[in-house]
Amino acid sequence: MQPEQNTERIRAEAHRLGFEFVGFARAERLDAEARRLEAWLQQGAHGKMAYMENHFDLRIDPTKLVPGAKTVICLTFNYHNPDKQEDAEAPKISQYAYGEDYHFVVKDRLKALLAYMQAEIGEINGRCFVDSAPVLEREWARRAGIGWNGRHTLTIHPRRGSYFFLAEIICDLELVHDDPIRDHCGTCRRCIDACPTEAISPEGYFLDASKCISYLTIELRDEIPAGFKSQMDNWMFGCDVCQDVCPWNRFAKRHEEPDFEPHPDLLGMDRRAWLELTEEVFGKIFKKSAVKRVKYAGLKRNINFLKRPETP
């Protein structure tokens, strides 16, 4: 089959599997992005995420991940859930972690798509990636026409905003490649002005991850620095502030994935219930959740850090 036919068959199957948007980028070395990544690392903006310093060559060259790679297939999977926690005083959790761990849910769909490609098109060498390998996914999404990378550094799709997971298949199949979308942030600074810890640089497009609430509550294994005590905006796992204020997310639609529905008790827990969280309740609420990444002790650390002085 011709690349045009294969491209459309893959796109149609991806939609059938639940992916919302699909784009195709030429697999090539990312020289400009390599320089930006190096500068970001040299400034220490990755905090204590030492793994970001590893496998530099793999991050900037997809042909080192998949020999002979010709295409990076980029896909989005919607996770948006506008439902909020019932108690406005309860410690907050990022909506992407309401349901089952996206690493497994989305990876299973990706594997099914790659299996379809191999069965219907022929012998294909490819690998699936969902935020768990040295892949510069937001740059590939930009190149594949999925969206532009906003001032908060997240990928924004003009018809759906940014509440989605990114996923990739790097393969040695020649397909029709898409064109990038131009930046539509304009003069908007809402994400910059709203960030509780000023993690986004004054002009945007640069995130000091060591100041980001998501980093502090998930990636950081040490104690959270005391200087952030008044800046956490009551987030115990992740943070949605820069997305919540983004005007492009007025186009976001609720997801249709049953696996991303929250545990029946999650949104109803009040502040007191979270302060008194036991390991047994943690295991029940977050049995298959990405929150298990920080374990019970990590979430309790975050909750305790948020305690007001008068809290017994």
Could you give the residue numbers annotated as active site? 131
pLDDT bracket for residue 133 (50, 70, 90):
confident
Same domain membership, residue 220 and residue 292: yes
Domain that holds residue 50: 3-86+94-171
Say what the pTM is: 0.95
Same domain membership, residue 109 and residue 55: yes
Residues 7-36 have a mean pLDDT of: 97
Domain boundary among 136, 171, 206: 171
Residue 311 has pLDDT above 90, yes or no: no
Q: Among 54, 67, 93, 75, which residue's Cα sits nearest to residue 10?
A: 75
pLDDT at 310 (0 to 100):
61
Distances (CA, A) of 130 to 103, 164, 166, 247: 6, 12, 7, 26
Number of domain units in the chain: 2
Same domain membership, residue 52 and residue 19: yes
Domain boundary among 171, 206, 234: 171
Same domain membership, residue 201 and residue 109: no
Same domain membership, residue 165 and residue 298: no
Same domain membership, residue 285 and residue 155: no
Q: What is the pLDDT of residues 181-231, one digit of tens each?
A: 999 999 999 999 999 999 999 999 999 999 999 999 999 999 999 999 999
Same domain membership, residue 196 and residue 98: no
Check the CA dihedral 199-201-204-209 and report its sign. negative
* 299: in domain: yes
Residues 276/64, Cβ–Cβ less than 8 Å = no
Same domain membership, residue 272 and residue 164: no
Mind giving me the DSSP string for the chain?
--HHHHHHHHHHHHHHTT---EEEEE----HHHHHHHHHHHHTTTTTT-GGGGS-HHHHH-GGGTSTT--EEEEEEEE-------S-TTSPEE-GGGSSS-HHHHHHHHHHHHHHHHHHHT----EEEESSSSS--HHHHHHHTTS-EE-TTSSEEBTTTBT-EEEEEEEES---PPPPPPPP--TT--HHHHH-TT--B-TTSS-B-GGG-HHIIIII--SPPPGGGTTTSTTEEE---HHHHT-GGGGG------GGGSPPTTTTT--HHHHHT--HHHHHHHTTTSGGGGGHHHHHHHHHHHH--TT--
Residues 6+ apart with CB under 8 A from 38: 56
* 180: in domain: no
* 196: in domain: yes
Q: What is the pLDDT of residues 108-127, one digit of tens each?
A: 999 999 999 999 999 999 99
pLDDT at 92 (0 to 100):
98
* 106: in domain: yes
Distances (CA, A) of 154 to 39, 75, 262, 281: 18, 15, 24, 33
CA dihedral 248, 254, 260, 262 (to 10 degrees): 100
pLDDT bracket for residue 252 (50, 70, 90):
very high
Same domain membership, residue 284 and residue 147: no
Same domain membership, residue 136 and residue 16: yes
CA angle 40, 133, 15 (to 5 degrees): 110
* 129: in domain: yes
Q: Among 245, 253, 266, 99, which residue's Cα sits nearest to residue 163?
A: 253
pLDDT bracket for residue 156 (50, 70, 90):
very high
* 297: in domain: yes
* 113: in domain: yes
* 257: in domain: no
Same domain membership, residue 223 and residue 111: no
Same domain membership, residue 117 and residue 33: yes
Q: What is the pLDDT of residues 259-279, one digit of tens each?
A: 999 999 999 999 999 999 999
Domain boundary among 140, 171, 202: 171
Residue 312 has pLDDT above 80, yes or no: no
Residues 138-167 have a mean pLDDT of: 98
Residues 6+ apart with CB under 8 A from 27: 62, 63, 66, 69, 70, 71, 72, 170
130 alpha-carbon distance from chain centroid = 9
Mean pLDDT of the chain: 96
pLDDT at 132 (0 to 100):
79
